[in-house]
Amino acid sequence: MLGMRMKWWAWLGLVAAGLVAAPAGQAAEAVPRDMSGHAGEAGEAGEPGEPGEAGEPGEPGELVVAEAAEIRAVVFLVVLDDPRPGAARMAEALVAEVEVALRRVFQVEVRRLTSRPLPRSAYRSQRKRYRADDLLVYLATQIPADMPAGTRVLGLTTADISTTKGQFKDWGVFGLGELGGTAAMVSSIRLRRKARDAAQVTWRVTNTAVHELGHVLGLDHCAEPRCVMLDAEGGIANTDDSSGGPGPQCTAKLDRVSPLRPAPLRPAH
């Protein structure tokens, strides 16, 4: 994040919105939330008095812009490209929609990692799939070493992925998330099947990403109508009919197991 000059009254508005850190001795107002867990909006700041300026970067009074006053976690988002010849590529517009949904639903800070190929060690040639469990282990190693404990990562791919489910050793899945853990993985290939249009594909992928990150943040499957944490149950209907966010019970649990905390500030540069 960048230090910057700005009028002091505009700066007050950003503090109120939770977008910059207040100087020592002045607390920034927390981002308001509605009952669905989505971030609300702060009111507009007034414009009293004569405007002033913050100091130059590196001088006293430097402002460091934060993404939000409080977050649940820092989440790295990374595309794992299918390295096989002719494989589909994940569209940047779709990745951007996933990023927006994660921020909006869970109040997490999302940071991007550069795309990288799926690890060969996770490939299962018999079914031409990648083992989702192995991908979770791999993803956890991709978090930068200087990040604090509690940092999460979510991977996106166009390749088919699978896990073990009951007697099925190689069960194809939309995604997989480590309950209360570090990593989650989403594949778009099955979510594209029988989709009406690109908008429905986007809805399915973003909902699945929210669902899997919900597991990582500590939410298990639930029975709340239209909650994003409903089990897919081997079909697509619950995903298509999802509200896109957690229901009241899951929201209450989320606040217990992954409460909002002050967001770490990135140094100005």
Q: How many CB atoms lie within 10 A of CB 238?
A: 18
Distance in angstroms (rounded) separating the CA atoms of residues 80 and 218: 24
Per the prediction, the chain carries an average pLDDT of: 81
Tell me: the pLDDT tens digits for 211-257?
999 999 999 999 999 999 999 998 999 999 999 999 999 999 999 99
Listed in sequence order, the DSSP H helices in the chain are 8-16, 92-106, 132-140, 198-216, 237-241, 248-257
pLDDT at position 265 over 90: no
Extract the runs of DSSP E, i.e. beta strands, from 109-188.
109-112, 116-117, 123-124, 129-131, 152-157, 161-165, 168-173, 175-177, 183-187
Tell me: the pLDDT tens digits for 144-175?
999 999 999 999 999 999 999 999 999 999 99
| Contact status, residue 191 vs residue 206, Cβ threshold 8 Å | no
Enumerate the active-site residues.
212
**pLDDT number for residue 269:** 54
Six-digit token string for 77: 């988002």
Six-digit token string for 244: 């896109």
Task: Tell me how many degrees the CA angle 87-161-251 measures, rounded to the nearest 5.
Answer: 120
Six-digit token string for 91: 């569209």
Query: Model confidence at 266, in pLDDT bands (50, 70, 90)?
Result: confident
pLDDT at position 135 over 60: yes
| Contact status, residue 111 vs residue 77, Cβ threshold 8 Å | yes
Tell me: the pLDDT tens digits for 7-65?
333 433 433 444 444 443 333 333 222 222 222 223 333 333 333 333 333 344 443 44
